[in-house]
Chains A and B, each alone.
Chain A
Amino acid sequence: MKPAPFSYHRLQTVAELVGLKARLGDAAVILAGGQSLVPMLTLRLSRPEHVIDVNDIVEMDHILPEQDGLRIGALVRHQHVAESAVVATHLPLLRRMAGGVGNYAVRQRGTIGGSLVLADPAAHMPLAALLFDARLVLRSARGVRTAAYRDLYRSPLNCALDAGEVVVSVCFPRQPEAMRAVAEMFHVTAGSFPALICAVRLVADAQGGLAGLTIVVAAGAVRPPVMEGMFDDLRGVRPDAALRGEVVRRVVAHMGGLIGQDAAGRYLLSVLEGRMAMCLAGAAGDTKEGAGA
């Protein structure tokens, strides 16, 4: 199949983009990297009247370390994140996640903003944004606002932007010194979406006990849950093998409730159990057991 006809708009500035989006509303879709949108147009799952090409909007293409974190423009390509020395310094896990998206050619075009707005439940960048509690900077004719991606990401393929809003950049908050983040990705075939990603963000206190633990798992086509509060009772405890076993048990139980216990679900949970243990060992600095960051 081929895409249905549409009117094409190629813009140079965010101001133009906000104006045109306000005028055209839902009749227009925004074309960034196009690595997911164009197949949807080709299969005619989407038949917009207008396509707004944002690839020339250079003011959305930057990676900037700032006082309170790392700002990444919505148009930054995955390969740029994957090869960025700035990202490697501030958030090495984000760099690794970007390098896992699709394949080499797809990463040259696909953008972080596009990926976050699409909110595919199996995708790498949404999971990273959930793990690190990233904020999206949104612009519309009404002005600028900042919103937590965790709040915007309601359900699979549903990133709840307000009418006329566009994503301008993504801010990853500055991380404490004692933070370690590790992820494991489980691909059935190279280049496809992973069947499972689990990611751990662990912050240690001065005595080496748990000061904070965040776990996000993408599996089974559900909105990846952010598991955080369910570990509050473990604060201060050293992340030794016994504690890690307890965390794995809670995570597997929680995911089991979300993705079901049919044959496919049970298989994913068995993979999750092993990968989760590796992640936690890596985040706790126990490299004998873990694959490390």
Chain B
Amino acid sequence: MIISLTVNGEVRDVAVEPHYLLSDVLRDRLDLTATHVGCEQGICGACTVLVDGQPARACLLFAVQMEGHAVTTLEGGAPSVELRALRAAFHTHHAQQCGFCTPGILMTFAAYLRDHPDCDEAGVRAVLGGNLCRCTGYGPIVRAIMAASAALREVADV
């Protein structure tokens, strides 16, 4: 069957079978390889994308379900203000080592910081529990997210 997927604001027609996972279709059919696939069981969070603006595991969705919904991956044409702040802070705080988990973390927190502008570190740590970093570099990741959150508040105050 051919479905129309709205990915990063672009409508893409793609041939799929109903049992094709969104993560596979993004990577293998649409060449959007920023969405990483780790465990493929919803545990590791590396494949997290935004569906209608909210984080979701791409490995726990079938591509066919996404017709009529907006999917955003890390490649997203016009990155949100939150994503730009996170990228800058990850750079400054050296918040990635091998980088495998980074896309999922960036997508998760782009949504979380948008919806929780006054988040605290305990809240950030609780949410980060949904993304595994096998390099175990959580300290710099938490610092980068808190720095991005503070930077966004500064922008909002001006």
Quick one: given A53-B65, A104-B108, A104-B127, are A5 and B18 in contact (CB under 8 Å)? yes
Contact status of A6 and B19, CB under 8 A, knowing A42-B41, A105-B108, A105-B130:
yes
Q: For A8, what are the chain B residues with a Cβ–Cβ distance below 8 Å?
A: 18, 62, 64
With A35-B42, A190-B126 in contact, is A104–B55 under 8 Å at CB? yes
- The verdict on A106 contacting chain B, using a C-beta distance below 8 Å, is yes
**Min CB–CB distance A210 → chain B (angstroms):** 34
Cβ contact within 8 Å between A105 and B62: no
Whether A191 pairs with B129 at a CB distance below 8 angstroms is yes
Specify which chain B residues have a CB less than 8 angstroms from the CB of A35 in the assembled complex: 42, 57, 60
Chain B neighbourhood of A10, CB < 8 A: 64-65
Looking at A2, A105, A106, A108, which has the most chain B CB atoms within 10 Å of its CB? Answer: A105
Residue pair A42, B59 in contact (C-beta under 8 Å): yes
In the assembled complex, the CB of B71 is this many whole angstroms from the nearest CB of chain A, namely 13
Q: Are A105 and B55 within 8 A (Cβ)?
A: yes
* Residue A55 CB within 8 A of the other chain: yes
A268: min CB distance to chain B, Å? 22
| Complex: A244 Cα to B25 Cα, angstroms | 56
Q: How far is it, in angstroms, between the C-alpha of A10 and the C-alpha of B64 when the chains are bound?
A: 9
Chain B residues whose CB sits within 8 angstroms of the CB of A38 once the complex forms = 21, 42, 59-62
Q: Is B54 an interface residue (CB 8 A)?
A: yes
Within 8 A of A (CB), among B44-61: 45, 48, 51, 54-57, 59-61
User: Is A7 at the interface (CB under 8 A from chain B)?
Assistant: yes
Tell me what chain B mostly uses at the interface: helix, strand, loop, or mixed.
mixed
A39 at the interface (CB under 8 A from B): yes
Interface readout for A20-47 with B: 1 if CB under 8 Å, 0 if not? 0000000000010011001101110000
Q: Which of A89-127 contact B (CB under 8 A)?
A: 102-106, 108-109
Nearest B residue to A37, CB-CB:
B60
A4 touches B (CB below 8 Å) = yes
B51 surroundings in chain A (CB, below 8 A):
108-109
Residues of A within 8 A of B108 (CB): 104-105
Asked if A51 lies at the interface with its beta carbon under 8 angstroms from chain B, I say: yes
B61 engages A108 (CB within 8 Å): no
Which of B65, B125, B130 is in CB contact (< 8 Å) with A106?
B130
Closest-by-CB residue of A relative to B1 is A8
**Which of A2, A53, A106 is B19 in contact with, Cβ under 8 Å?**
A2
- Contact A43:B19 (CB < 8 A) given known A8-B62, A34-B61, A103-B129: no
Check if B112 sits within 8 Å of A104, measured CB to CB.
yes
A3 at the B interface (CB under 8 A): yes
Q: A34-B61, A190-B129, A191-B130 are in contact. Are A106 and B42 (CB under 8 A)?
A: yes
Contact with B along A243-267 (1 / 0, CB 8 A): 0000000000000000000000000
A40 to chain B, nearest CB (A): 10
B60: which A residues are within 8 A, CB to CB? 34-35, 38-39, 109
Partner of B130, one of A4, A7, A31, A103: A103
Is there an interface contact between B48 and A105, defined as CB atoms closer than 8 Å?
Answer: yes
* Chain A residues in 8 Å Cβ range of B21: 2-3, 38, 42
Find out whether the CB atom of B61 lies under 8 angstroms from the CB atom of A5. no
**8 Å CB contacts to A: which residues of B20-50?**
21, 24, 40-43, 45, 48
A52–B19 Cα distance when bound, in Å, is 12
Give B130 Cβ to nearest chain A Cβ, in Å.
3
Seen from chain A, the residues whose Cβ lies within 8 Å of a Cβ on chain B are 1-8, 10, 31, 34-35, 38-39, 41-43, 51, 53, 55-56, 79, 102-106, 108-109, 189-191
Closest 6 CB pairs of A and B: A103-B130, A190-B129, A8-B18, A105-B55, A191-B129, A38-B60
A-B contact pairs, 28 of them (CB 8 A): A2-B24, A3-B62, A4-B19, A5-B19, A6-B18, A7-B18, A8-B18, A10-B64, A31-B62, A31-B65, A34-B61, A38-B21, A38-B42, A38-B60, A39-B60, A51-B62, A56-B68, A102-B130, A104-B108, A104-B126, A105-B48, A105-B57, A108-B54, A109-B51, A109-B57, A109-B61, A191-B43, A191-B129
**Chain B residues close to A by CB (< 8 Å):** 17-19, 21, 24, 40-43, 45, 48, 51, 54-57, 59-62, 64-65, 68, 108, 112, 125-127, 129-130
